């Protein structure tokens, strides 16, 4: 609360790869904070709480997530239902959806000084693609137009804990989130566990490369929230006093 | 057939029984007429032919056209949606049909994405890597025509150009016709610079249709099944 009146400092954007031509000289004032983690890991609850806290502290906050673009989000859902999409096709479709939100929501909000809280970012998309056998270099290049977030948290939940949370939430396992499309096992339960550990392994591999901060997601909502909020507060404190 | 640049791990050197033939060139270069005649000729010979057109996947078409109508597309989303369209046709049709021994005719291929996306300002290296899963065609014809001839052919009987078609998103000119001319000129420059490194067979698109088709067929002859497999052809015909 005490820093309410202070502005976050401006800075140029930093891309993962080649970036986007017309955004090379863009200056952003806001900060990009990402929360990654599998379905039912508690991401949305955490984002709700953090948003409320940051707004109470006087920050403008924008929430974004995957499959929310004006351009393609509906298309992905429809296409998944009506067609059996190839892996590269789906990967590119998701990339288009992400790019649309990136250019029309994330960048403008950052320019305007918002704290953008992203419910997943490129890492989930990359991990899914890699687990489905697509070439790693290809997957990373695909998202070379994205900027590096200021903070990326990864809610790390044991697949065996996760599956119970999924059942509490939905009573059934999601086709894609269980990797049922890649034939890991005839048993959905087992397929889910294998798939989620594969995804988790990809996240651990990306941890160093992308500076992901693993957060023990096996704890209670309140415990995780306290941990995340503490880290975010520390970060904002630092950038506003530098 | 070799994999285009760096192959994706999932596409281990696959055996391609079929042949991939590509036509490229700006709108109005006459390439679609030529590929149509080629399709008829091969079909007449009893060869299994499949034609695939740029931006024709049912699934993606709706979205691209919606985005285009609203003028919502950025160079990056424009590029990615066309890549999605291509990947869908590639995974669904082009690759399996090549594996099955078809002559696949592509009215525009990855080169169209390279030239257009690069002109729109996408990073050339990025675009090429996005498409690096696509195999290199057996033959790629580039129908080369001076910009004025092609533009005149296109504009005959066309009162209006579409926004992206005219390259209006590039802010080249407020006049769609002027914008279109500049845009197409830049695309030609890109094609020209790609012609040698990519091994395009250049066809003079100002020649008459029959002459062009003759040259195209002559180039394709060596790819046709030889005498040894003529039985197969006869069987298909009968």
Q: What is the pLDDT of residues B152-162, one digit of tens each?
A: 888 887 778 88
Q: Could you tell me the domains of chain A?
A: 11-240 (3.40.50.300)
**Percent above pLDDT 90 for chain A:** 74
Cα separation, A62 vs A177, whole angstroms: 26
Rg (CA), chain B: 18
Strand partners, B24: B142
* Mean of all residue pLDDT scores within chain B: 88
Strand order in the sheet with A61-65: A61-65, A115-119, A31-36, A151-156, A213-216
> Nearest CA of chain B to the CA of A180: how many Å?
18
> CB-based contact (8 Å) between A15 and chain B?
no
> Has residue B228 got a pLDDT over 60?
no
Model confidence band, residue A202 (pLDDT cutoffs 50, 70, 90): very high
pLDDT band for position A3 (50/70/90)? Answer: very low
pLDDT at A5: 44
Whether A107 has its CB under 8 Å from any CB of chain B: the answer is no
d(CA A225, CA A134): 34
Q: Which of A17, A89, A138 sits opposite B84 (nearest CB)?
A: A89
pTM of the model: 0.89
Secondary structure of residue B20 in the 3-state scheme: strand
* Residue B95 dihedral angles phi and psi, to the nearest 5°: -65, -50
SS3 B11: coil
Mean pLDDT of chain A: 91
Tokens (6 digits) for B196: 């040698």
Q: Which of B62, B77, B130 lies closest to A142 in CB terms?
A: B130
Concatenated DSSP letters for chain A? -TTTTPPPPPEE--BSSS--GGGTT-EE-SEEEEEE--TTSSHHHHHHHHHHHHHHTT--EEEEETT--TTTHHHHHHHHHHS---HHHHHHHHHHHHHHHIIIIIHHHHHTTPEEEEES-HHHHHHHHHHTT--HHHHHHHTTTSBPPSEEEEEE--HHHHHHHHHHHHSS--TTTTTGGGTS-SSHHHHHHHHHHHHHHHHHHHHHHHT-EEEETTS-HHHHHHHHHHHHHHHHHHHHT-
Nearest to B213 by CA among B42, B18, B1, B94: B42
Residue B122 — φ and ψ, nearest 5°?
Answer: -75, 155
User: In whole angstroms, what separates CA A35 from the centre of its chain?
Assistant: 5
Q: Report the residue from B10, B76, B81 with minimal CB separation from A134.
A: B10
Let me know: does A152 contact A145? Beta carbons within 8 Å.
Answer: no
Q: Is pLDDT at A2 greater than 50 in this prediction? A: no
Mean pLDDT of the A213-241 span: 95
The whole-number pLDDT of residue B5 equals 43
Beta-carbon separation of B72 and A17 below 8 A: no
Strand, helix or coil at A138?
helix
Structure tokens of A12? 């140029």
* Distance separating alpha carbons of residues A139 and A128, to the nearest angstrom: 10
Please give the residue that has the higher pLDDT: either B169 or A82.
B169
Q: Which two tokens stand for residue A123?
A: 């890492």
Task: Return the residue matching tokens 């996306």.
Answer: B117
Could you report the per-residue pLDDT of B162-207, keeping only the tens digit for each? 888 889 999 999 999 999 999 999 999 999 999 999 999 999 999 9
Q: Which of B110, B111, B73, B59 is nearest to A86 (CA)?
A: B59
Q: How far is B104 from chain A (nearest CA, A)?
A: 19
**Span A92-119, average pLDDT:** 95
Domains within chain B, CATH numbers bracketed: 19-200 (3.40.50.300)
**What is the model's pLDDT at position B101?**
95
- B10: pLDDT strictly greater than 80: no
Distance from CA of A129 to the nearest CA of B (A): 12
Structure confidence at residue A210 (pLDDT)? 93
- Residue B12 — very low, low, confident or very high, per pLDDT cuts 50/70/90? low
Evaluate if residue B8 carries a pLDDT over 50.
Answer: no
Q: What is the pLDDT of residue B13?
A: 63
pLDDT above 70 for B221: yes
A148 or A6, higher pLDDT: A148
What is the C-alpha end-to-end distance of chain A, expressed in Å? Answer: 17
| Contact at CB, A133 and B10, closer than 8 angstroms | yes
> B67 pLDDT band (50/70/90 cuts)?
confident
pLDDT of residue A79: 73
B127 Cα to chain A: minimum distance (Å): 9
CB pairs under 8 A between A and B: 104
pLDDT: which is higher, A172 or B37: B37
Q: How confident is the model at residue A242 (pLDDT cuts 50, 70, 90)?
A: low
| Other residues' Cβ atoms within 10 Å of the Cβ of residue A25 | 8
């Amino acid at each position: 609360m005490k820093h309410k009146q202070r502005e976050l400092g401006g800075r140029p954007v930093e891309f993962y790869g080649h970036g986007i031509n017309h955004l090379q000289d863009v200056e952003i004032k806001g900060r990009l904070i990402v929360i990654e983690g599998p379905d039912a890991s508690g991401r949305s609850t955490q984002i709700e709480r953090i948003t409320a806290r940051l707004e109470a502290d006087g920050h403008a906050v924008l929430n974004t997530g995957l499959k929310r673009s004006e351009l393609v989000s509906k298309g992905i859902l429809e296409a998944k239902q009506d067609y059996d999409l190839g892996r590269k096709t789906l990967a590119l479709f998701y990339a288009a959806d992400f790019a649309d939100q990136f250019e029309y929501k994330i960048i403008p909000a950052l320019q305007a000084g918002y704290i953008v809280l992203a419910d997943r970012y490129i890492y989930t998309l990359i991990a899914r693609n890699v687990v489905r056998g697509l070439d790693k270099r290809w997957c990373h290049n695909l998202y070379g137009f994205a900027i590096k977030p200021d903070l990326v948290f990864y809610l790390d939940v044991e697949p065996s804990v996760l599956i119970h949370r999924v059942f509490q939430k939905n009573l059934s396992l999601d086709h894609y989130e269980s990797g049922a499309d890649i034939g890991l096992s005839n048993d959905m339960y087992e397929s889910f566990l294998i798939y989620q550990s594969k995804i988790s392994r990809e996240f651990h591999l990306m941890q160093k490369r992308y500076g992901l901060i693993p957060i023990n997601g096996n704890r209670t909502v309140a415990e995780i929230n306290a941990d995340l909020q503490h880290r975010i507060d520390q970060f904002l404190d630092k950038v506003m006093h530098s | 057939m070799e994999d285009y640049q760096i192959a994706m791990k999932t596409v281990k050197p696959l055996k391609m029984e079929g042949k991939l033939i590509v036509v490229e060139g700006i709108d109005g270069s006459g390439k679609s007429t030529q590929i149509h005649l080629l399709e008829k000729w091969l079909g007449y010979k009893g060869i299994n032919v499949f034609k695939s057109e740029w931006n024709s996947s049912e699934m993606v078409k709706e979205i691209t056209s919606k985005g285009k109508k609203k003028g919502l597309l950025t160079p990056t989303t424009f590029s990615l949606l066309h890549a999605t369209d291509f990947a869908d046709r590639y995974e669904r049709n082009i690759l399996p049909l090549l594996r099955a021994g078809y002559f696949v005719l592509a009215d525009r291929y990855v080169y169209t994405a390279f030239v257009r996306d690069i002109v729109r300002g996408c990073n050339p290296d990025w675009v090429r890597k996005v498409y690096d899963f696509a195999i290199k065609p057996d033959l790629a014809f580039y129908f080369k025509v001076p910009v004025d001839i092609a533009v005149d052919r296109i504009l005959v009987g066309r009162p209006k150009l579409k926004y992206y078609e005219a390259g209006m998103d590039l802010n080249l000119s407020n006049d769609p016709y002027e914008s279109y001319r500049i845009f197409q000129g830049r695309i030609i420059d890109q094609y020209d610079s790609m012609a040698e490194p990519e091994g395009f067979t250049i066809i003079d698109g100002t020649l008459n249709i029959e002459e062009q088709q003759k040259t195209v067929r002559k180039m394709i002859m060596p790819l046709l099944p030889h005498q040894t497999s003529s039985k197969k052809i006869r069987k298909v015909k009968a």
